[in-house]
Chains A and B, each alone.
Chain A
């Protein structure tokens, strides 16, 4: 067969298989593709196997000796020779009809979940590939069995049924049945998505699938995604992950975010996670957990950079290079005395524009605007807006610097409030 044949999965499933003598030998139940096959430059997965129901029994055969022919617009499945697949060969494959058809997959370019109406396949020479998924109206009508009459009806009005395909390289399948595929699916394509988009997708997945996709992410990325998830999904994921993996992810997150999550989690689970986490991170989190909801302490970030006023700019820069702080931490820099009492603030701009030998006390702004740790959150937004601040220091009643509230957290709190008021 040295030709190119394209066909749809739905036209093959449920069809009779004929041998070379035109005798029916069974009915097609499913096609198996190798999801990780990158032998072809196109990245399209090769159809490896076929699931056939033969006199009441399900058997898997190699697809090598099968081919698809189109006769008068009808699809016919022909088989030259039956070679059974071993269990190992079966298990490394993805079931197209069971795990892809009618299921949700991730449209990588559209950054959202779409439902698969059909799969388009192509046979080139001797290999058959899954090339695209059909998510359009045409696929739906084809499945219901009224595509052809509808096409005819539409053509009378010179219109066409909207068809919508996504190429296989632009989708990531999610197999939530987890019965037939290796558990360690890499979800490589998902790694290219922005953490926020990935978080939205994970939220929209079912229970099993969301935990499965999340646990495939590496710790660093998992932490970024975790930050973007809604509270209830965070809880669900943390309850599905092992304590070790959960703690690893939390270790990579800012302490205030971790405190928020653990606050919503069951006490026992939260304690287990805290014990498993790295000492200094968990210590910070424990301090934050003391603050009641709706107080500044509960949303503040405890990661702050504080300096002695006698340090020079040069020394500050050396310190910053050594610590490699996150962007947020640089929103505001603080000056404290030996008792950790807040004296002044200075900005990264002040550092950048000053000569290296200048001392901090020459550029710092004394008696800064600050918040108390037990102050109510709803007063913060006004202060932020009034003084045009990116981050405000938080002190306790003895004026000891405890952390800072970053503008992002204030905005997040405002949005949450508006949403729950609705």
Chain B
């Protein structure tokens, strides 16, 4: 991906060729920010927030299906379509937001790298610069494709959370009960937790990523059925991993009343409760997820910004040909890594503000998407069916309401 020359996937065999965009997007979804949110939510509320994964799953499937359909029909990226149909000003707003949010997201990924390596006794002043440089080198030297495959393989390691969870000996009856009848006090903190979970599961930049992957694979409407399977598999994988992270943390940390702030704390806290092995598995999973997302995020962001504003982009271009692209890419990576290295950096504030921007951006991007996907000029006969629109618009409404709450929350909580 991110090459303008499309690669030849058709050789690998039909199913494997089609399988991918949804699954990769799903794996990137469970990044350091996601793992942190799930762990913290479960540590505080036990099994009582697991139900949020169900509506998240539905919305995730609906949105990604729209992206895939748009990519297949138009062969154009979401950034292209928004620029061509919504004009410069809206595009500018979206991409400035996306840029700032993704610098924040990248920072969170490096926090994940730092935290997970500290579990293994490696200082962040060693791990972050090394990982940052390796990522930069990997991408600029054009071996990105290899990297993506290695990561895809490693993303299987996210299933380690299943092992971690089982070692914590969860109470399955209680989990089932909590999903159907969650014991939840409605207050600002619990609502912000819910928003956090949904926000981290459906991040705005992923819509751009999904659509580009579909185009890069050169999928066709005839293969729509397989694409849908791919999307559902990817979303199921995302939600299943999230589920087990929450179970792992709920059955150990919550039951012992341990509160945490970071995913790293979860890994450390698992040690006495579920054993050293479970703790290291958790940390290793966090490390892989962080590096995977830290590779893709800055690259994807630089690519979409350039796509929207008409700068040359792509890792197959030389530095002179695509200056803006490389400067952006390097900049996002360097800033993200540098913030982690500042002693006493306000990481919690950064991750909060990143979520706020994500939350504001998501409805805007979704409204653009729904308008585009209903535009006959663009989509022809493949415009949204009423069912898609009902789910789509209700998702937008819920997200707008949630985002508003998220925006207003700090005002109320500060007033207290």
Q: Are A102 and B84 in contact (CB under 8 A)?
A: yes
- Assess whether A151 is interfacial by the CB under 8 Å rule: no
- Find the residue from B4, B6, B310, B312 having the highest chain A CB count within 10 A: B310
In the complex, what residues of B have CB within 8 A of residue A352's CB?
none
By the criterion of a CB under 8 Å from any partner CB, how many residues of chain B are at the interface? 31
The interface-forming segment of A78-86, A204-212, A218-226, A342-350 is A204-212
Are A419 and B143 touching (Cβ within 8 A)?
no
Give the chain B neighbours of A3 by CB distance below 8 A: none
Stretch at the interface among B44-52, B73-81, B341-349: B73-81
A232–B10 touching, CB < 8 Å:
yes
Q: A206-B74, A232-B218, A420-B8 are in contact. Are A144 and B310 (CB under 8 A)?
A: no
Q: Is A312 an interface residue (CB 8 A)?
A: no
Q: Is the CB of B84 within 8 A of A103?
A: yes
- Contacts known (A232-B218, A236-B220); A207 close to B73, Cβ less than 8 A: yes
B146 and A206 within 8 A (CB): no
Known: A230-B5, A422-B145. A177 touches B75 (CB 8 A): no
Given contacts A420-B7, A422-B143, is CB(A117)–CB(B88) below 8 Å? yes
Closest CB of chain B to A207's CB: distance in Å?
4
Q: Which A residues are CB-close (under 8 A) to B144?
A: 422
**Cα–Cα distance between A419 and B222 once the two chains are bound (Å):** 26
Smallest CB–CB gap between B305 and chain A, Å? 12
Q: Is B385 an interface residue (CB 8 A)?
A: no
B92 on the A face (CB < 8 A): yes
State whether B8 touches A230 (Cβ < 8 A).
Answer: yes
Smallest CB–CB gap between A302 and chain B, Å?
23
A231 beta carbon closer than 8 Å to chain B = yes
Known: A230-B8, A232-B218. A140 touches B74 (CB 8 A): no
Contact with B along A393-422 (1 / 0, CB 8 A): 000000000000000000000001001101
Within 8 A of A (CB), among B92-109: 92
Contact B4 A102 (CB under 8 A): no
User: Does residue B309 face the partner (Cβ distance < 8 Å to A)?
Assistant: yes
CA distance A112 to B311 in the complex (A): 12
Q: How far is the CB of A11 from chain B (nearest CB, A)?
A: 14
Shortest distance from the beta carbon of A171 to any chain B beta carbon, whole Å:
13
Q: Scoring B residues 140 to 165 as 1 if CB is less than 8 Å from chain A, else 0, what string do you get?
A: 00011110000000000000000000
In the complex formed, the residue of A with least CB distance to B222 is A266
With A207-B73, A422-B143 as known contacts, state yes or no: A144 contacts B6, CB within 8 Å: no
**Contact between A115 and B218 (Cβ–Cβ < 8 Å)?**
no
A28 close to B (CB within 8 Å)? no
Max count, chain B CB within 10 A of own CB: residue among A200, A232, A236, A420: A232
Contacts of A205 in B (CB 8 A): 75
Distance A117 CA – B310 CA, assembled complex (angstroms): 8
Q: Which of A58-105 contact B (CB under 8 A)?
A: 102-104
A303 at the interface (CB under 8 A from B): no
CA distance A235 to B217 in the complex (A): 13
B9 contacts across to A, CB distance below 8 A = 420
Contact residues, A176-226 vs B (CB, 8 A): 177, 179, 200, 203-208, 210
Question: Is B272 located at the chain interface by the 8 A CB criterion?
Answer: no
| B225 at the A interface (CB under 8 A) | no
Q: State A239–B72 Cα separation when bound (angstroms).
A: 14
Q: CB of B415 within 8 A of chain A?
A: no
Q: Are A422 and B4 in contact (CB under 8 A)?
A: no
What are 30 pairs between A and B in contact, CB < 8 Å? Answer: A102-B87, A112-B312, A115-B83, A140-B88, A140-B310, A143-B88, A144-B88, A144-B89, A177-B377, A179-B377, A203-B5, A205-B75, A206-B74, A206-B75, A206-B80, A207-B74, A207-B75, A207-B76, A208-B74, A210-B75, A230-B8, A233-B6, A239-B220, A266-B222, A419-B7, A419-B8, A420-B8, A420-B12, A422-B7, A422-B146
Interface residues of A (CB under 8 A from B): 102-104, 112, 114-117, 135, 140, 143-145, 177, 179, 200, 203-208, 210, 230-233, 235-236, 239, 264, 266, 293, 416, 419-420, 422
Give me the interface of B with A, judged by CB distance under 8 Å.
4-12, 73-76, 80, 83-84, 87-89, 92, 143-146, 218, 220, 222, 309-310, 312, 377
Nearest 10 A-B pairs (CB), nearest first? A115-B310, A232-B218, A422-B145, A207-B75, A143-B88, A206-B76, A206-B75, A230-B6, A102-B84, A144-B92
